[in-house]
Structure 1
């Protein structure tokens, strides 16, 4: 396998890129070496060297704790639980939520062998022990696994004395937060419901 084929194969593993799209992307990068390929290589190196996982919420940032956790202007009484960093970024993109986050690192999935031990549930529970958090918003996808995770967390959080809400049903069944438009995310966050 030559270098170009190897790059196409690696690019083809990225979400949204199949073999043909990866081949087109690699060809474009090779044609634009000075303006695209070389800056991309440099940027990938910088990201690999400097981006860390936030020890508080699980976000990705150049600093630990991340910029969101360091922001003293955020509402510490609201904690939004998301499955992945992409979901956190989607909610931050709309600029409506001003609380804090907890990234679970996925959702419960019996088929994939993902149980509560594989998710960041223990850090979530530790964050609630101080009593500062008054509401936990479960911003999980409207998939079967997302709903299962939401019900599991609601049961675990119920004895902790915090209000538990979830995103409104405006999120389509089977939908993933990272793929929704801004208007749908804004409405879903505003119309969240208690569990």
Structure 2
């Protein structure tokens, strides 16, 4: 009996929910990457890495982890370290502008605000793209049956499609050619 099957029988619901989570698209790769970053492997799960430890580790991942970025791309802003770094960067930029003699209303916008807006635009673009793809998939497709036309052509009949409107410029050129041909004869 496999170690994972035994663990599922022993602990039941929590392990099943973790297994369902791992089967979602992209989740296994993100979690595997996060585990490798801390020196562990997803292959250790149920053997040297207990399911309880895995669950505790998974629920407390930082916002910059691959899994958290997959689930919540804006989660990177929930970590205190990036906020502190961005705050320090903003203060340095503000001091640089002030030493250069910039007026208060011309000081640069905070980096956290710029990044949040950039992430929000990117996420909105993804949602819009997904929405367009879904609408395109739901749109009715026009199917043309060309069997009748092929049968007519095989019998030697001319196509029944309506003639296209002539290009006025092409008509003018044809008339000039016809006049030149008539003049040469």
TM-score with structure 1 setting the length = 0.27
Higher helix share: 2
Q: Who wins on radius of gyration, i.e. which is larger? A: 2
Higher strand share: 1
Higher relative contact order (CA 8 A, sep 6+): 1
TM-score with structure 2 setting the length = 0.28
